[in-house]
Amino acid sequence: MRNLVTTILAAAVSAAVAGCAAPAAAGGARSYEPHTMNVLVGASLNRPETGVAVGANYEYRKDDKLGFGGFADVAFGEDTSTVLGGAVFFHPDDHLALFGGPGVNFTSGDAEVVARLGGFYAFEWKKYTIAPTAWVDLGDDVAVFLGVGLLFHF
């Protein structure tokens, strides 16, 4: 499992370096705000057991396709688990965002390196943006999050 995590972390760093070297979108006005905060609530499966989880993702959007940011979430259960990390965001279209990056999972005084892979799909509803969100954390154990987020663009 550690080789898989190392490979995923190397891929995330490579994507971040490639994104920094990519040229900015040519001319024209932005069709997005550069900052996005996704406030989440949902269920965390297998961290350390199924339970309620809350968290947030922040993204600074570099251009139409690429953004960088971080994530923090807490899963409540018999043992509370907190994950903090950084991510690269890829936007294949206006609504879909895929993200991945390294993080650290703190549970019961132990720290474990994890790789997070996930995504969300943003729906506009009146003045709100609602985003069903899912991700998987790969480490010594595999943890899955399923939930919904409220996006704030600024």
Picking from 13-22, 32-41, 106-115, 128-137, which range would have the lowest pLDDT averaged per residue? 13-22
Higher pLDDT, 80 or 20: 80
The answer, yes or no, to whether residue 50 has pLDDT greater than 90, is no
Q: How confident is the model at residue 111 (pLDDT cuts 50, 70, 90)?
A: very high
* pTM beyond cutoff 0.75: yes
Q: How confident is the model at residue 45 (pLDDT cuts 50, 70, 90)?
A: confident
**Nearest partner of 140 among 108, 90, 104, 109, judged by Cα:** 104
String of b and e for 100-134 (b: at least 16 CB within 10 Å)? bbbbebebeeeebbbbbbbbbebeeeeeebebebe
3-state secondary structure of 139: coil
Domain ranges of the chain: 2-21+33-153
Q: How confident is the model at residue 21 (pLDDT cuts 50, 70, 90)?
A: very low
Average pLDDT over residues 127-135: 93
Average pLDDT over residues 145-149: 96
The partner residues of 107 in beta bridges, in order of sequence, read 81, 110
The pLDDT value recorded for residue 74 is 93
The partner residues of 55 in beta bridges, in order of sequence, read 40, 73
**Nearest partner of 115 among 25, 40, 15, 22, judged by Cα:** 15
The pLDDT value recorded for residue 52 is 93
The answer, yes or no, to whether residue 24 has pLDDT greater than 60, is no
The answer, yes or no, to whether residue 33 has pLDDT greater than 70, is yes
**Nearest partner of 104 among 88, 84, 86, 118, judged by Cα:** 84
- Classify domain 2-21+33-153 by CATH number: 2.40.160.20
